[in-house]
Amino acid sequence: KKEAEAAKLSDKHDRAKLPLWVSLTMVGIFAVLVVVLILMNTTFQDNLVFSQIATIVIGACCGVLFYLRRFTTNPDSKFQKILYIILAVMAVVYIFMGAYGLLRVL
């Protein structure tokens, strides 16, 4: 029993390991999103140009997260595949909406 529990524990640790640059990129995405959302709701609340740029940044973050999914070591379930598809669609939609809105504002 102890060997089986140790194998399960080591398997959990193996699944959690990501390359360092992937982990740093995810931390960077989180920091960028927090800064953009704080600025969008406080200082630049009524600024149309910044809101369109923020939409593009949010879409780009979705795209980067969609790209980073390939560096996970565990096999994807159907639920994860659906989430990845939604993430990719949201990346395209947000970038398009932000670019179109920015084009109209300028």
For residue range 51-91, list pLDDT tens digits in order: 999 999 999 999 999 998 887 767 678 888 898 899 999 99
Instruction: Kindly report, residue by residue over 21-46, the tens digit of the pLDDT.
Output: 888 999 999 999 999 999 998 989 88
pLDDT of residue 78: 87
Instruction: Compute φ and ψ for 75, nearest 5 degrees.
Output: -70, 145
Q: What is the pLDDT of residue 28?
A: 95
For residue 15, what pLDDT is reported?
A: 53
- Beta carbons of 30 and 64 less than 8 angstroms apart: no
16, pLDDT greater than 60: no
For residue 11, name the pLDDT band (cuts at 50, 70, 90). low
